Chain A
Amino acid sequence: MEYIDTQRYILAFKAGRALRRDGTNLVEPKPEKGAIILYDGEDDLLHLVWKDRTTGSVGEDLIMFEGDASFTQIPNAPGGRTFVLKFQSSDQRHFFWMQDASSERDTDFVRNLNGLLQDPDFSLTWNTETPPAASTSGPSRPVQQATSEQVETLRRLLSSYRAGSAAPATAPPEYSLTDILTPANINPLFTSHPELVPTLFPHLPSDLPNPPNEETVTQIIASPQFRSAVSNLDQALRTGLLGGFVRSLGLPEEAGASVEAFLKAIQDQAASEDSMQTD
């Protein structure tokens, strides 16, 4: 088996194989721990390889021509972590199941794999906090922020996926903004940082019957109107389609991809505002 220089890895993630039972349409997952690896071959071709992580042997070695293959989720498979690699140029089908301990990064892996299969110069993007170690393969392919073109592609992919699939496109949410922007979380800040309260006044309605004070802010945060706005924002962020909108808040487009991305971008924005002030 060909030795694959890890320096040539472009993308890798844990995955097992699922093989078709002869004469049937059944695809059965095999228990072996493996990995899907996309790498630059010495032949200057893009290879997709399935490697057994226990024995080190390579079970599949496929040459990927630009735009030919796609890695698609099988909608009815229980657990939602079964995928098929299929080709425009042939009837080949290779089935895999995601083996990363958490399914959180599945969408990142799948998106990046499909991106690279379409265009080997695709820049990897990660919506989760720490990119897995195998994603970088040396200085020639650093992890970059997504360009607006890529985000646009992502947006189109997400909306077409949602429009087409019968299964829900997103897993149930881990948390909601409505549990973050609560009086219980915010009111104590006013006690510990009273100087921050007046900074909120410009964001309050300009036609309040009385000039605002700390109690006004507290009342507003507890009001049904504000809570409804928070719920709307949470729902809208979960669609992943707010890339254009979040720029009006001074945030990068990626911040519109999810609630998690939004909060991360706000964290960054807050940190950079603080450092600007201390300069």
Chain B
Amino acid sequence: MSTGEENSGWNLTESDPGVFTELLRSLGVPMIFDDLYSLDPSTLAAHEPLHALIFLFKWTSDSPDPTSGGSYDSDFPGFFAHQVVNNACATLAVLNALGNIPSLKSGQPLAELFNFTQGMDPQTRGLVVTSADWLRECHNSLTPPSAISLDGLGLPKSSEDAYHFIVYLPFMGSVYELDGLKASPIRHGAYEENSEGWAGKAREVIESRIATYPPGSLEFSLLALHDDPLPTLQEQLSVAQTAGDQSLLAELMQNISDENSKRERWAFENALRRHNHMGLMHALLKLLAKTDNLDAAKEGAKTKMTERREKAKARGEAMDED
């Protein structure tokens, strides 16, 4: 991964729907992201109205990303920004999605940003986006605070690369692909106004993209951007209560409960992401010492390290010594 200077103060974020949804919350957008485990019609229908799909992937071969079909549309009149800072790729993809949603509800800063960048070329937009301090702070608030600054200690950077993000969304009757690393958006053609809507066309495009990668070379996930279902579910719950519809009531209560558990899990994970764990690590080590368990833990750790090395040697691999 690039050095601090090249990343202009943007931290690398995790690609997790909880993280992305928290970003939406900090932008004042009443939508959520969910993991999609399949692209079949029923799964997609469960997230109606679907505003955008984000395809995130890292591919592990050295060959360049295969072309995805469709045609470049350099006259695209919507919002499209280039990725000018590597680590900002997640926020940039989210903005490329949000910027093309009609009548988007959002906080003031985001609305002003979209207003301000109207009519700009993608490169300039990308620069404006990554220069927005408030946006960078929202983005960075989802990463661990540096308990210890690891910059300047000469630690080798891990070899894990960032995910790459591609946004698929409907715009003026066609499915578009927005990739911040490409010159312009790619138009994949019109979609039919049937029950599936644009999502059906998007599915075809994404599936054919996935098929172009050699098997096993692609690690990816899909995120669906859609309205927050909770307010609607609550309304439906009230109606069902009034109507005395027991089975509907039970189903709605289950859905609401599932949704709330998910939010609680996200809130827990995000709290851990933002937290400086130094105090806890120190307290736990002292605990081990006070209960006379630290020496044994150390000896056990030495044994584990030796076993690991031996196993790695047996497999003929060099140990990753950081």
B-side contacts of A239, CB under 8 Å: 153-155
Bound Cα distance from A219 to B268, whole angstroms: 10
B239 interface residue (CB < 8 Å to A): no
B298 interface residue (CB < 8 Å to A): yes
In the complex with contacts A174-B305, A200-B280, A235-B322, A185-B275 CB distance below 8 A: no
In the complex with contacts A196-B287, A235-B322, A249-B277 CB distance below 8 A: no
In the complex with contacts A175-B301, A228-B144, A232-B148, A266-B293 CB distance below 8 A: no
B274 interface residue (CB < 8 Å to A): yes
B288 touches A173 (CB 8 A): no
B286 touches A175 (CB 8 A): no
Bound Cα distance from A172 to B310, whole angstroms: 13
Partner of B148, one of A185, A189, A242: A242
Partner of A200, one of B272, B275, B283, B304: B283
A225 touches B285 (CB 8 A): no
A-side contacts of B280, CB under 8 Å: 200, 203-204, 220, 226
B275 touches A205 (CB 8 A): yes
B-side contacts of A163, CB under 8 Å: 154
In the complex with contacts A162-B154, A242-B148, A189-B271 CB distance below 8 A: no
Interface-central residue, B278, B284, B288, by most chain A CB under 10 Å: B284
A236 touches B155 (CB 8 A): yes
A209 interface residue (CB < 8 Å to B): yes
A127 CB to nearest chain B CB (Å): 15
Q: Is the interface of B mostly helix, strand, loop or mixed?
A: helix
In the complex with contacts A225-B272, A236-B155, A245-B148, A192-B305 CB distance below 8 A: no
A26 interface residue (CB < 8 Å to B): no
A266 nearest in chain B by CB position: B285
For chain B, residues 133 to 179, give those with C-beta under 8 angstroms from any C-beta of chain A: 144, 147-148, 150, 153-155
Interface size on B (CB < 8 Å)? 44
A210 interface residue (CB < 8 Å to B): yes
Bound Cα distance from A192 to B292, whole angstroms: 12
A240 nearest in chain B by CB position: B153
B-side contacts of A175, CB under 8 Å: 298, 301-302, 304-305
B291 touches A193 (CB 8 A): yes
For chain A, residues 25 to 48, give those with C-beta under 8 angstroms from any C-beta of chain B: none
Partner of B301, one of A176, A208, A236, A238: A176
Bound Cα distance from A232 to B275, whole angstroms: 14
A233 touches B288 (CB 8 A): no
B313 CB to nearest chain A CB (Å): 12
A-side contacts of B284, CB under 8 Å: 181, 186, 200, 221
Partner of A229, one of B278, B285, B321: B278
Of the stretches A9-17, A66-74, A137-145, A268-276, the one at the interface is A268-276
B-side contacts of A238, CB under 8 Å: 322
B264 interface residue (CB < 8 Å to A): yes
B204 CB to nearest chain A CB (Å): 35
A125 CB to nearest chain B CB (Å): 22
B269 interface residue (CB < 8 Å to A): yes
B297 touches A205 (CB 8 A): no
B277 touches A229 (CB 8 A): yes
B304 nearest in chain A by CB position: A179
B227 CB to nearest chain A CB (Å): 22
Partner of A249, one of B268, B282, B288: B282
Interface-central residue, B274, B280, B291, by most chain A CB under 10 Å: B280
Bound Cα distance from A174 to B303, whole angstroms: 9
Bound Cα distance from A166 to B278, whole angstroms: 33
In the complex with contacts A200-B280, A200-B283, A225-B144, A270-B289 CB distance below 8 A: yes
Partner of B273, one of A168, A210, A225, A270: A225
B-side contacts of A245, CB under 8 Å: 148
Bound Cα distance from A225 to B155, whole angstroms: 19
A-side contacts of B293, CB under 8 Å: 185, 189
A207 interface residue (CB < 8 Å to B): yes
Bound Cα distance from A269 to B278, whole angstroms: 16
A208 touches B321 (CB 8 A): no
A163 nearest in chain B by CB position: B154
A267 interface residue (CB < 8 Å to B): yes
B277 touches A226 (CB 8 A): yes
Partner of A208, one of B271, B279, B281, B300: B271
For chain A, residues 229 to 262, give those with C-beta under 8 angstroms from any C-beta of chain B: 229-230, 232-233, 235-236, 238-239, 241-242, 245, 249
A19 interface residue (CB < 8 Å to B): no
Bound Cα distance from A200 to B305, whole angstroms: 28
User: Can you name 15 extra interface pairs (CB under 8 A) apart from A209-B268, A220-B280, A249-B282?
Assistant: A172-B309, A175-B301, A179-B300, A180-B285, A180-B294, A181-B284, A185-B300, A196-B291, A203-B280, A205-B275, A207-B274, A223-B269, A235-B155, A273-B290, A274-B290
Q: Which 3 A-B pairs have the closest CB atoms?
A: A270-B289, A179-B301, A229-B277
- A residues bordering B, Cβ < 8 Å? 159, 162-163, 168, 172-177, 179-181, 185-186, 189, 192-193, 196, 199-200, 202-205, 207-210, 219-221, 223, 225-226, 228-230, 232-233, 235-236, 238-239, 241-242, 245, 249, 263, 266-267, 269-271, 273-274
Residue pairs across A and B with Cβ atoms less than 8 A apart, 28 shown, are: A175-B301, A176-B301, A179-B300, A180-B288, A180-B297, A180-B300, A185-B288, A185-B293, A189-B288, A192-B291, A200-B284, A200-B287, A204-B275, A205-B271, A205-B274, A209-B264, A220-B272, A226-B277, A229-B278, A230-B281, A232-B148, A233-B281, A235-B155, A236-B153, A239-B155, A266-B282, A267-B289, A270-B290
